[in-house]
Every structure is written in C-alpha cells, then in structure tokens.
Amino acid sequence: MKTRNIILIASIIIITVIVLIYAYITGLASMWHLHKPDDSPYFITTKPVIVKNILLPAGTKIVYEKSFFSGKYEQEKMLKEKDITAIYFKQDTTINWGGVPIISIVKFFNTKMKDLPFVQILTN
C-alpha cells in the first residue's frame, strides 16, 4: 500500500513539473512573438512626394503591408500605394490636417484608407 501511495505522489509531482515547464516555455515563446522587431517593409522619402493625395515632406517613413515579394525592412523604392499601412513624419515635423498638426497617419479600421484614417495628433 505504501509503495502505491509513493508512486501516485511521485507521478503527480512529475506531471505537475511537466505542466509548469510547458507553461513556462509557452510564456517565453509568446513573449518573443510579441516583442520581436517589426520586419514590415518601409520606405523613407528623400524628397517631398504626394501619397494618397497628401503632400509628404522629405524624411517621411511610409510603412507597407508584409508580402512575400516586397522583402523586409527598408526598401530602395516606393511600393504600391494600396499597400500602405502607416505614414510617420520625421521627428519634429508635422502637417496640418484640417488645421490640426499631426505626426502620423495609421491605417486602422478603415482598411481602404478612404475618408479619414486614424490620425495621431500632436499634443503639447
């Protein structure tokens, strides 16, 4: 009887240790997935350019959707306008959107980026 109890307790401890190790490894993997660097393709303008009917100043970062053919990180040329997901202006640079200074434009709920996309407003 004592041997059976010892085996039962030992198996419960081993199963508990295995579950805890699995939970720990899964937690580490999800943390790596959440905090890995963004490898979306982007282009930084070298001169003023019009994109989506908006005049963008030089030094603006245009971020595109990931695709198999577009590559990763910085691109040598602008990609398709329909694939733009975000526009970030150079630090300390704003444009006026309806009289309000903004520092970035992000495609959010408006998947076609028509009308008014999500705009980050510069606040002091």
Query: So where are the chain's domains?
Result: 1-36, 42-121
Which burial class, exposed, middle or buried, applies to 8 when counting CB atoms under 10 A from its CB (0-12, 13-18, 19+)? exposed
> pLDDT tens digits for the chain (124 residues)?
688 888 899 999 999 999 998 888 887 766 666 666 777 889 998 899 888 788 888 888 988 887 766 667 778 788 888 888 888 888 888 888 788 888 888 876 555 555 544 555 554 4
In the prediction, which pLDDT does 19 show? 92
Q: Which two tokens stand for residue 47?
A: 């001169």
